[in-house]
Amino acid sequence: MHTRPLLALSLVAACGGSRASVNTWALAGKAAPVTGAHAMVVSGHPLASAVGAQILQEGGNAFDAAVAVGFALEAVLPEAGNIGGGGFLVYRDSAGGTGALDYRETAPAAATHDMYLDSAGNPTERSITGHLSAGVPGSVAGLYEAWKAHGHLPWARLLAPAITLADGHVLDDQRRRSIEGERQRLALFPASASQFLVNGHAPAAGSTFRQPDLARTLRLIADSGPDVFYRGQIADLIVAEMKRGRGLITKADLAGYRAKWRTPIQIDYRGYRIYSMPPASSGGVTMAEIFNILGGYDSLPPFGSARYVHLEAEAMRRAFIDRNQWLGDPDFVKMPLERLLSAAYAAQLRAQILPDRATPTPAFVAKVTESSQTTHYSVVDAAGTAVSVTTTLNNGFGSAVTVTGGGFLLNDEMDDFATAPGKPNMYGLVQGEQNAVAPGRRMLSAMTPSVVLDPAGKLFLVVGTPGGPTIITSVYQVIANVVDQHMTLAAAVEAPRIHQQALPDVVFYERNGLSQPVLDSLRAMGYTMQERHGYSGDISAIERTPNGWVGVPDPRYGGGAAGY
Ligand code: DON
């Protein structure tokens, strides 16, 4: 893999500084920015964004809109959004206050270190499909906590649009395709089959999609708040579902669930300030390491060049090595965050980057899933408060288990633990004991909801994405494209992305995202370059411009933006 050094040098000399030819890039010019003079919502589904914009126009603030969007996504984006899952919220209010809310799922009390291993010690599918893969859901507690601390409109008002959508809405073709793509897993569980399938297939696009059990659940939450979900009727339905499939979640697990306020990770990069999610997500720390390493270069090579991909990939590799070794649930493990986030440490890592060679990480073969079934939404209200939320069931349709009578899917977030420390998980991530399964523990996430201030300290960007580990590198690249490459947000979002996560020791790139000479050059430098199947991430972002707020849904899969 690491032969041909002379060729490497000559190719780097020939191609390293030149701009890549990316005119075959399929998404060039495809982003469709939407401008709003006062306020903006960008989410994974146009109907959910419209709900958020409506709430803002009624005088709701960004938190109200975020809560309403969160519940609306449950009805219109069943593969990801998610009262049976969890998420993270980062905000910056109009007075400059910041905060981060962690409503990540937790392992049930009966969870054990080796619960997902077979008798030979290998990981099984039990952490991905079925009742055992579900962590204790955090979304209802989290959205309620966000509203209680910062909301303005009545709670029930924020659920009303989701109830209407659950009563019935027109199914779009993208949903039809995502349901069809998971029909075999959904068919394993009768409540999922009856909610999502018609004769074993997705309902037709254009048909009215009705979810009466979900509508009833949402009505109960609108009337009674989170208590009904964590202690009342819905808790009973979840526990009955667990009994049906030998899952572990108990009434005590549900009653004991708490969303937690945490302090955002603060990243200072070339005069800009970024607030992002701290552990139990790895997003903020890992992205901070990438920025801190790259911030030490006076200038960076042009976008699309081999030299630039090289520096980015080496920064990503080093940040992911630390992520996988050190990070976990802050309530359970000690992490050297001060050191990992320090400029001195970044300088040390930067000094290890060779000018023209890849630094290998131990190789192994790992499957990296291509599903894109988490979801992000960004909100800015008329006062300039920004709320950035990434939320997930983990992979598409989570565990595939719908709570019978409850009408919502349960997550399969338990697979985000290192179910077999030292062996790759669904995303090919190799992690250690810091993130092993333990009762009550939060599984380490990559979700990176972020807010960026410009050098004058004004709100500038709100950004986030789904994509497993590619979340971190996608959010980093969009911010870097704007800050370093001086792209508009639309250009920054549609631009081709790369991904390196230490192991597997591969640089992933999107189809036609790098020119052939650049690929040749990187291979000669010792990189294993691998084209992804599908895209990397699905950004929902907002930028402040002189003309107002510009909302940009990613043209990769696309949600929708709505502003006024
Ligand atoms: O929390 C995490 O990092 C993962 N559960 C996110 C999964 C995800 O983004 C799936 N979409 N590709």
Whether ligand 1 lies within 6 angstroms of the CB of 445 is answered as: yes
CA of 76 to the centre of ligand 1 (A): 19
CA dist., res. 194 & res. 351, Å (int): 57
CA of 416 to the centre of ligand 1 (A): 8
Whether ligand 1 lies within 6 angstroms of the CB of 105 is answered as: no
* pLDDT one-digit tens code per residue, 297-316: 999 999 999 999 999 999 99
Whether ligand 1 lies within 6 angstroms of the CB of 536 is answered as: no
For 320, phi then psi, to 5°, come to: -70, -30
* pLDDT one-digit tens code per residue, 249-259: 999 999 999 99
Between the alpha carbon of residue 146 and those of residues 52, 101, 261, 265, the distances in Å are 15, 8, 9, 19
CA dist., res. 445 & res. 504, Å (int): 18
Q: For residue 416, which atom of ligand 1 is closest to its CA?
A: 5
The DSSP bridge partners found for residue 86 are: 392
299: exposed, middle or buried (C-beta count within 10 Å: 0-12, 13-18, 19+)? Answer: exposed
Tell me how many helices (H) and strands (E) the chain has: 19, 19
Residue 363 confidence (pLDDT):
54
395 three-state secondary structure = coil
Whether ligand 1 lies within 6 angstroms of the CB of 82 is answered as: no
Between the alpha carbon of residue 473 and those of residues 328, 413, 537, 549, the distances in Å are 19, 21, 9, 24
Residue 16 has pLDDT above 90, yes or no: no
**How much is the average pLDDT of 520-533?**
97
CA of 394 to the centre of ligand 1 (A): 5
Residue 263 confidence (pLDDT):
98
Whether ligand 1 lies within 6 angstroms of the CB of 428 is answered as: no
* pLDDT one-digit tens code per residue, 535-561: 999 999 999 999 999 999 999 997 999
Whether ligand 1 lies within 6 angstroms of the CB of 466 is answered as: yes
Residue 398 has pLDDT above 70, yes or no: yes
Asked which of 17-26, 75-84, 87-96, 528-537 is least confident by mean pLDDT, the reply is 17-26
Which residue is listed with tokens 């549900």? 254
**How much is the average pLDDT of 219-224?**
98
Asked which of 1-15, 498-512, 519-533 is least confident by mean pLDDT, the reply is 1-15
Q: What would the DSSP string read from start to end of 432-445?
A: -GGG---TTPBPPB
Residue 1 has pLDDT above 70, yes or no: no
Angle between helices 5-15 and 306-326 (to 10 degrees): 120
Find the helix or strand (DSSP H, E) in which 321 lies. Answer: helix 306-326
Residues belonging to the active site? 374
Residue 369 confidence (pLDDT):
45
CA of 369 to the centre of ligand 1 (A): 10
Residue 372 confidence (pLDDT):
54
**Which residue, among 51, 111, 184, has the nearest Cα to 413 in the 3D structure?**
111
Residue 421 confidence (pLDDT):
83
81 CB contacts (<8 Å, ≥6 apart)?
A: 44, 45, 48, 70, 73, 74, 375, 391, 393
Q: For residue 443, which atom of ligand 1 is closest to its CA?
A: 1
